[in-house]
Amino acid sequence: MTGLSQIGVAVIGVGSMGRRHAENLLRAVPDARVVAVVDANAELAKKVVSDLGVDGCYSEVPAALERKDVDAVVIASPSRLHAPTIRAAAMAGKHILCEKPIATTLEEADAALAAVESAGVCLQVGHMRRYDPAYADAKRRIENGEIGRPVIFKSIGRDRELPPMSYFQAGGMLFLESSIHDFDLARWLVSDEITEVQAFAGALITPELEKYGDVDCGVVNLRFSGGAIGNVESYRHAGYGYDVRTEIVGSKGTLQVGYLEHTRETVLTAGGAAHDIVADYLTRFADAYVLEVQDFIETVRKGREPRVTGRDGRNALAVSLAAQRSYLERRPVAITPTNT
Amino acid sequence: MTGLSQIGVAVIGVGSMGRRHAENLLRAVPDARVVAVVDANAELAKKVVSDLGVDGCYSEVPAALERKDVDAVVIASPSRLHAPTIRAAAMAGKHILCEKPIATTLEEADAALAAVESAGVCLQVGHMRRYDPAYADAKRRIENGEIGRPVIFKSIGRDRELPPMSYFQAGGMLFLESSIHDFDLARWLVSDEITEVQAFAGALITPELEKYGDVDCGVVNLRFSGGAIGNVESYRHAGYGYDVRTEIVGSKGTLQVGYLEHTRETVLTAGGAAHDIVADYLTRFADAYVLEVQDFIETVRKGREPRVTGRDGRNALAVSLAAQRSYLERRPVAITPTNT
Amino acid sequence: MTGLSQIGVAVIGVGSMGRRHAENLLRAVPDARVVAVVDANAELAKKVVSDLGVDGCYSEVPAALERKDVDAVVIASPSRLHAPTIRAAAMAGKHILCEKPIATTLEEADAALAAVESAGVCLQVGHMRRYDPAYADAKRRIENGEIGRPVIFKSIGRDRELPPMSYFQAGGMLFLESSIHDFDLARWLVSDEITEVQAFAGALITPELEKYGDVDCGVVNLRFSGGAIGNVESYRHAGYGYDVRTEIVGSKGTLQVGYLEHTRETVLTAGGAAHDIVADYLTRFADAYVLEVQDFIETVRKGREPRVTGRDGRNALAVSLAAQRSYLERRPVAITPTNT
Amino acid sequence: MTGLSQIGVAVIGVGSMGRRHAENLLRAVPDARVVAVVDANAELAKKVVSDLGVDGCYSEVPAALERKDVDAVVIASPSRLHAPTIRAAAMAGKHILCEKPIATTLEEADAALAAVESAGVCLQVGHMRRYDPAYADAKRRIENGEIGRPVIFKSIGRDRELPPMSYFQAGGMLFLESSIHDFDLARWLVSDEITEVQAFAGALITPELEKYGDVDCGVVNLRFSGGAIGNVESYRHAGYGYDVRTEIVGSKGTLQVGYLEHTRETVLTAGGAAHDIVADYLTRFADAYVLEVQDFIETVRKGREPRVTGRDGRNALAVSLAAQRSYLERRPVAITPTNT
């Protein structure tokens, strides 16, 4: 795998996330070249190709995978398409950066990982928070022992507002698409697997989500294999902004990431003290997304192990599915993480 | 009861909490007179009587209750003595301010409430956080609709360090003595009853607590009767200070109380930015404790309904006991709150 | 003076400040008794006497000073009356707690100090910030060497809004009544005298102040005898609240007091993040005012040196007058502090 | 000048600042090409050329200016060389981005501006803070009237530590190299010229600076032509980090930029609460430096007026020189800003 001078990339799915990946590859990764864009929405694909000056424009994945100059794919299509696209890309010998979740069932996830394994390609999963400078530094501090042994993991993820209803097609999207970031952080920052979860959740603000088996808020208790515990809160209707905060409580202290200090301005008027709150994930994690694709291309060039592996993606998915089941069945649900 | 010019009070139990109550009554409640102190530790009782200039010194409760000039008692003895002392005081016709929990079982709690009811005395429960200016203001803001309808209740309670091992005599003290404050806040601030809890907990830092059936950390998921959800975290080993924070997330925004802004000084040196963290509950809630006894005496004088009722104490206890059971039995536990 | 069991106090001037002093003496100083109230506004005096249950009600100072049971006076009348009242009280052998400034000219100040000296009474000046727990702790930290040697002193004092125009009767009230608190802090926290000032100021929001020779905003550069420098900003129209902040920059770090962390609540809504700002000095320095009168009474009882001396009051006044002169004459002005 | 497809740039002076400019041009400005590097230190020039893959390497300016493919220069050499280099570049018909100060005397500045004017080239001055997202947003808010009319301008600029003594060669470098950023912000954010300053300053930590006529701390009072006032503090020995904060106080409220919220992590241990402080200007203003060179290249390409003009550079320099004179002559010094 080493020796590739410039990596040709096809971006599959160019909604806001996929388009951002394409832009970052173009602007910030000299060793990559975006050679193709794929989107089922042909108009959207054409617009992106035209805006960014990309050569190949496709509305279906196989045509893009046939290109010889495509060394790698970035998958940012809807979640239910992730696993089949990973399999197709792996069979075509392409390296893969795939958005989370890597699948919507464990069976699909395992099949996708097997295809990757057998093809010998690189699969990196889009848990971009690991690339965020603050989270990366938190990881370093924890490993340095600054807070002692992690005992309690807490995380909050709140979106400013619900995605459009067209976004909801299957149950469990709160846990599968949002909380999964926190589950990945939990595994990574505590350096341990989650083995049991218990969730209370509901469609409290948008009751029509119930017909999709979905919810707009949830609290998930976590138990780690080594005894540590935790809780993840997810909410779709924060209203005031995009609010992601994590706290790792250890035997010697606690470490907080992201307590809304997302701005360097404060305005004080008769109406009170006010500062802006970050609006969305593309703003909050702008740096992380750049670092993520840079690292992915470097990983492909060097033929090294990715920083976020298929197993990471699979085990975070397992926690999300268990949280959804706990909500539906009103009981704690155990998880069997895989080590391979 | 109206018409009492000055209320005679016996303080029962004068460890750090009871002594503080006695001092506050002396210094800040002109309408009260501390006429007796009771403590099984006769030396301690003597010292407090001498330090504060109180008349009556007792090592047993009945002797103090016999005093005609005792109109009310403040109960700050160990938790397992609360319910029997409430019953004895009620039977003696004394008004009661009792520290939480009002009992260690629901049966005892109900018996104590029945005794109070039948004696027609006033019982106020020591959930002093309701008197904290910040929490009181939070309640006002929520009722004003500033954050819309409460959807998620979050609370953290961390002690700087474990009490001495002599403090532990029965199981469940984390939930019964610490988390109970957060359960009371939850009921009060959401204006709803908690109907189901699920707890993960452990004796992670001090494994010897297990022999008492106790734990040093816990996360408890909450479900409210109206659909809202929540989580309460409790921890005995924060190390860095006494850290109490609450957040109520609503349909229109969120309200945070107590994010460590407990100081007005920041020191910046080559070692980083630093500010003090409040050390303990007597410091953090100093104002609340004063306001609590002032309100209690005023309530007794005016013969009005107490701000924190026996039912409040009983229902918070029910949540604590359910959390402990959820931990032991590894399943969610339902709660049947009483409305009377 | 030692041996006095309870100190009889006359409060002279019972506007909002004087009334607060009277209340604090009544509620929080068991060793004091407020035996007389004086105010040129007889109605106001009567109301305070009636509200607080004080015995003696006077509209002129001499009558109150004649009372044998008056051991001490608290002077909270308009500034121009401070010096003559100090002289009268001293001649009557009364101990004195006087609001700042102790006079409106240095000549008057020196005459008042001479009267105090010759009468052998105690004079404490109302620089209450020295009693604020945060400032007191800052002093302790500086003396402990936490920030090394003080190099730059910065202070900001902003009122929410201008006092009523009836308050303005003489020039220089911004420096004499507001900035003087910061000048006192400067002297105290740097442990050095200010020897030169330079001021830019103006009546920018309320031009009608110019006819009184007064201003509504000012910045005053400071030079200390040992070489340290500094700046004090004062503003009458902050609008958003009462904002007092001080920073002492040293050779090893910096210490900030009061960066608006005056609340323990934050509300986040679509309108942004908001927290309350303290409204006025009676709220911000509520504790300090209590501690101040407690210390004054204790000082009188013990016959010890007051914590804020007449010399402190005199030298802070000298800085205020120099700042006003610098503004008027558009040049730096030197100060000769007194050491006696 | 319009129609240029890619702008060839020579970077003159490749210490840490110049090297950063070269890197930013290479990485973040597709429309620019760094074709030459100049540094009197030939070794350093060679290293940068080699590290960054630049074609031309020079130890003297004229040789670089002779290159036909050099359309523009970025001047980041020592301050005393700025004005002569501007003149030489202008005479060679090159567009110019010059670090502040544009000169070390007003005469030189005016001569440089005249050369630029007569050559018809573009000159942009390196007041990069105007490109910082927080400051840019502050400017927008002020213009939107969020704080009303600006009344008081405050700014603090503290370096973590003194530059090496080899950096000091002429007097007044604190005001000419550091405070000048704050003077530029003052002019820009208040939208007015500074017409008078008064400075107190000293070499308090490093007395050996006195032999260069330099100081390590200073406070400068400002008066604006429209009546607003202000103060700028500069300090070379903060120790704890690079600390830049600005506050603009208006008739309706105040706006603070940069109160040390430069991190998204807080660590709480028994040692207290701690968060990192930004270390240096290259870190704090990383985004601003990128946006600055991007805007410069775009300005050159479009032949438009630069966002920070030669007049801006000249008038900020005038304030710096007046501050130095005020310090030396111990009197307020008036400034005559130029409008052309």
pLDDT attached to residue B3: 45
Query: H or E element: which one contains D300?
Result: helix D286-302
| Cis ω for the linkage preceding C332 (within 30 of 0) | no
Of A28, A134, A254, the CB nearest to D268: A254
Q: What is the pLDDT of residues D283-308, one digit of tens each?
A: 888 888 989 999 999 999 999 999 99
Indicate if the pLDDT at residue C94 is higher than 80. Answer: yes
For residue D240, give the chain B residue with the closest CA: B270
Mean pLDDT of A217-237: 96
For residue A260, give the chain C residue with the closest CA: C273
User: B274: which chain D residues are within 8 Å (Cβ-Cβ)?
Assistant: 271-274
Q: What is the overall mean pLDDT for chain C?
A: 91
pLDDT attached to residue D24: 93
| pLDDT confidence band for A1 (50 / 70 / 90) | very low
How many interface pairs between A and C have CB atoms less than 8 angstroms apart?
48
Q: What is the rounded CA–CA span in Å between residue C121 and residue C309?
A: 12
| pLDDT confidence band for B47 (50 / 70 / 90) | very high
Residue keyed to tokens 């707890």: B199
Mean pLDDT of C78-91: 97
Mean pLDDT of A28-45: 94
Indicate if the pLDDT at residue C269 is higher than 90. Answer: no
Q: What is the rounded CA–CA span in Å between residue B283 and residue B260?
A: 13
User: B258: which chain C residues are within 8 Å (Cβ-Cβ)?
Assistant: 264-265
Of A152, A156, A253, the CB nearest to B219: A152
| pLDDT confidence band for D243 (50 / 70 / 90) | confident
Q: What is the pLDDT of residues B177-236, one digit of tens each?
A: 999 999 999 999 999 999 999 999 999 999 999 988 899 999 999 999 999 999 999 999
| pLDDT confidence band for A239 (50 / 70 / 90) | confident
pLDDT attached to residue C198: 97
Does B252 sit within 8 Å of C141, measured CB to CB?
Answer: no
Name residues whose C-beta falls within 8 Å of residue D100's C-beta, 6 or more positions apart in sequence: D125, D126, D127, D177, D180, D181, D184, D313, D316, D317
The residue with greater pLDDT, C267 or A123, is: A123
User: B276: which chain D residues are within 8 Å (Cβ-Cβ)?
Assistant: 272-273
Does B253 sit within 8 Å of C269, measured CB to CB?
Answer: yes
pLDDT attached to residue A218: 96
Contact present, D151 and D261 (Cβ < 8 Å) = no
Proportion of chain A above pLDDT 90, given as a percent: 74
Q: What is the pLDDT of residues D46-85, one digit of tens each?
A: 999 999 999 999 999 999 999 999 999 999 999 999 999 9
Q: What is the overall mean pLDDT for chain D?
A: 91
Indicate if the pLDDT at residue B277 is higher than 70. Answer: no
Contact present, C34 and C24 (Cβ < 8 Å) = no
Mean pLDDT of D212-232: 95
Give me the DSSP letters along C224-290.
Answer: ETTS-EEEEEEES--SS--EEEEEEEESSEEEEE-SS---SEEEEETTEEEE-----HHHHTHHHHH
Give me the DSSP letters along A161-210.
Answer: SPPPGGG--STTHIIIIIIHHHHHHHHHHHTS-EEEEEEEEE--S-GGGG
| pLDDT confidence band for D212 (50 / 70 / 90) | confident
Q: Which residues of A touch C (CB under 8 A)?
A: 238-241, 243, 260, 268-277
| pLDDT confidence band for B77 (50 / 70 / 90) | very high
Which chains pack against C, by 3+ Cβ pairs within 8 A? A, B, D
| pLDDT confidence band for B145 (50 / 70 / 90) | very high
| pLDDT confidence band for D2 (50 / 70 / 90) | very low
H helical segments located in chain A: 16-28, 42-52, 61-65, 82-91, 106-119, 133-143, 173, 180-190, 281-284, 286-302, 310-329
All domains of chain B, ordered by start, with CATH? 7-121 (3.40.50.720), 130-284+316-334 (3.30.360.10)
How many angstroms separate the CA of residue D158 from the nearest CA in chain C?
10
Environment class of residue C74 by beta-carbon count within 10 Å: exposed (0-12), middle (13-18) or buried (19+)? buried
For residue C275, give the chain A residue with the closest CA: A273
| pLDDT confidence band for A241 (50 / 70 / 90) | confident
Proportion of chain B above pLDDT 90, given as a percent: 74
pLDDT attached to residue C262: 44
pLDDT attached to residue D264: 56
Q: Which residues of B touch A (CB under 8 A)?
A: 148, 151-152, 154, 156, 158, 196, 198-202, 204-205, 217-223, 227-231, 233, 235, 237-240, 243, 249, 251-254, 259, 330-332
The residue with greater pLDDT, B216 or A264, is: B216
Q: Which of A29, A265, A290 to mutate to test the interface with D (most CBs of D within 10 A)?
A: A265
* Percent of chain A as helix, strand, coil, to the nearest 5: 40, 25, 35
Mean pLDDT of B71-82: 96
Indicate if the pLDDT at residue A110 is higher than 70. Answer: yes
Q: Which residues of A touch B (CB under 8 A)?
A: 148, 151-152, 154, 156, 158, 196, 198-202, 204-205, 217-223, 227-231, 233, 235, 237-240, 243, 249, 251-254, 259, 330-332
| pLDDT confidence band for B304 (50 / 70 / 90) | very high
Does D221 sit within 8 Å of C221, measured CB to CB?
Answer: yes
Amino acid, single-letter form, for residue C65: L
Contact present, C13 and C97 (Cβ < 8 Å) = no
pLDDT attached to residue A283: 80
The residue with greater pLDDT, D135 or C280, is: D135
User: A238: which chain C residues are within 8 Å (Cβ-Cβ)?
Assistant: 268
| pLDDT confidence band for A3 (50 / 70 / 90) | very low
pLDDT attached to residue B1: 39
pLDDT attached to residue B268: 73
Q: What is the overall mean pLDDT for chain A?
A: 91
pLDDT attached to residue B164: 87
Q: Which of B221, B244, B327 to mutate to test the interface with A (most CBs of A within 10 A)?
A: B221
Q: Which residues of D touch B (CB under 8 A)?
A: 238-241, 243, 260, 268-277
Q: What is the pLDDT of residues B103-143, one digit of tens each?
A: 999 999 999 999 999 999 999 999 999 998 889 989 999 99
| pLDDT confidence band for C279 (50 / 70 / 90) | confident
Of C198, C230, C237, the CB nearest to D332: C198
pLDDT attached to residue B275: 63
For residue C257, give the chain B residue with the closest CA: B265
pLDDT attached to residue C2: 41
Helix (H, G, I), strand (E, B) or coil at C103: coil
Contact present, B73 and B286 (Cβ < 8 Å) = no
Of B238, B243, B275, the CB nearest to D272: B275
Of C147, C264, C267, the CB nearest to B267: C147
pLDDT attached to residue D259: 57
| pLDDT confidence band for B165 (50 / 70 / 90) | confident
Query: H or E element: which one contains B159?
Result: none
| pLDDT confidence band for A259 (50 / 70 / 90) | low
Least confidently predicted of A136-140, C181-185, C331-335, D229-233: A136-140
Q: Which of B146, B190, B200, B329 to mutate to test the interface with A (most CBs of A within 10 A)?
A: B200
Does C272 sit within 8 Å of A277, measured CB to CB?
Answer: yes
pLDDT attached to residue A269: 72
Mean pLDDT of D196-203: 96
Q: What is the pLDDT of residues C140-187, one digit of tens each?
A: 999 999 899 999 999 999 998 898 888 887 777 999 999 999 999 999
Of D239, D243, D269, the CB nearest to B240: D269
The residue with greater pLDDT, A65 or A257, is: A65
Contact present, D158 and D234 (Cβ < 8 Å) = yes
Q: What is the pLDDT of residues C202-231, one digit of tens each?
A: 999 999 999 888 999 999 999 999 999 999
pLDDT attached to residue C34: 97
How many angstroms separate the CA of residue C153 from the nearest CA in chain D?
10
Indicate if the pLDDT at residue B276 is higher than 80. Answer: no
For residue D261, give the chain B residue with the closest CA: B273
